[in-house]
Amino acid sequence: MKVGVLTGGGDCPGLNAVIRAVVRKGTQEYGCEFVGFKDGWRGAVEGDTVPLGIPAVRGILPRGGTILGSSRTNPFKEENGVRRIKENLAKYEVEALVAIGGEDTLGVAAKLHGEYGIPCVGVPKTIDNDLSATDYTFGFDTAVGIATEAIDRLHTTAESHMRVLVVEVMGRHAGWIALHSGLAGGANVILIPEQRFDLDQVCAWVTSRFKASYAPIVVVAEGAMPRDGEMVLKDATTDSFGHVRLSGVGEWLAKEIEARTGKEARTTVLGHIQRGGTPSAFDRWLATRFGLHAIDAVHEGDFGKMVALKGTDIVRVPIADATAKLKTVDPALYREVGVFFG
Ligand code: F6P
């Protein structure tokens, strides 16, 4: 059987570990052959392929990024996108697709399978950890580790100058990275997209931290928003998903904190550093297991499914379950962490 593999959406540490596991097990146990589609769905639509076999996956386990390249191309937004994918699958004699991606990539896989009968198996990835139906996505642990290390480092410089250090982490719609790294790094304020924040309350926490002779660290997810409607309208933009956002919320927050508390504030935006470089051991473990189970699903003809982590088991769920709704931070969990604020 010939299997197509693609990686779509924002890249993420661990993608190569999945590709390696799929190809190694597929070749050695099931006698599969592989073809890599370049840059996610773009390669499938345009017939842009790379050879994929054991030699191509040698040495890639610890490498960040993806050897297949990635893009946010959506075939349903391309002219004759689905027809072209079908033609290319026939041309390259591909009988099944392993689609490794987040909400958008998997949404396409679910539709291609459900509405057009294209045999797809999904593998969930995102550093944001906001996909339903899996306890964790790979890439998240690496991102949290990088953000935590940054927060640790920012503590010492904040204290030397008695400044407020605002750290902006990724997470447009979910605050998982902010919550986990903020807790692990001992932040004094954590702000997430799921809960609008009260600027007066944030400033009160900052002030109380200074009163205790410490310099505060404020971790803010890029999608976090203040409560004040007018302020938001003045500075907000609408992102490509139609969500209202304050682009540069970290900078904005530092300016407001400085103006309101009279304390010097600085911002560090971690950005794509959280997505680059080598995956953590946990992410290698999870990505490898996802890959092994994905090729099992292909071999068994169990299409329209996505591999997922439940506890310590890898299970299969309908791909559509993962994309129906984002997994966001529960208010009770956020309240639990709030005991450390201020
Ligand atoms: O979904 C992963 C993610 O890293 C988000 O946390 C972030 O908002 C977004 O991708 C950034 O996307 P891009 O790299 O396309 O700017």
How is the chain split into domains, by residue range? Answer: 2-138+279-323, 142-274
Residue bearing the CA closest to ligand 1, atom 15: 10
| Cross-strand bridge partners of residue 166 | 218, 267
**Does 3.40.50.300 match the CATH number of domain 142-274?**
no
Residue bearing the CA closest to ligand 1, atom 8: 172
Q: What is the ipTM of this complex?
A: 0.95
Tell whether ligand 1 has an atom less than 6 A from the beta carbon of residue 126: yes
**C-alpha separations of 113 from 41, 74, 157, 244 in Å:** 14, 15, 52, 32
Closest atom, ligand 1, to C-alpha of 128: 6
Contact 145, 122 (CB under 8 A): no
Q: Considering only CA atoms, which of 174, 180, 143, 176 is closest in space to residue 270?
A: 143
The domain made up of 2-138+279-323 has a fold known as Rossmann fold (3.40.50)
Tell whether ligand 1 has an atom less than 6 A from the beta carbon of residue 88: no
Tens of pLDDT along the chain (342 residues)?
A: 999 999 999 999 999 999 999 999 999 999 999 999 999 999 999 999 999 999 999 999 999 999 999 999 999 999 999 999 999 999 999 999 999 999 999 999 999 999 999 999 999 999 999 999 999 999 999 999 999 999 999 999 999 999 999 999 999 999 999 999 999 999 999 999 999 999 999 999 999 999 998 999 999 999 999 986 555 656 677 766 566 677 799 999 999 999 999 999 999 999 999 999 999 999 999 999 999 999 999 999 999 999 999 999 999 999 998 888 899 999 999 999 999 998
Q: What region, left, alpha or beta, does residue 172 occupy, with left being phi > 0 and alpha being psi -120 to 50 degrees?
A: alpha
Phi and psi angles of residue 75, each rounded to the nearest 5 degrees, phi first: -60, -25
Please give the positions annotated as active site.
128
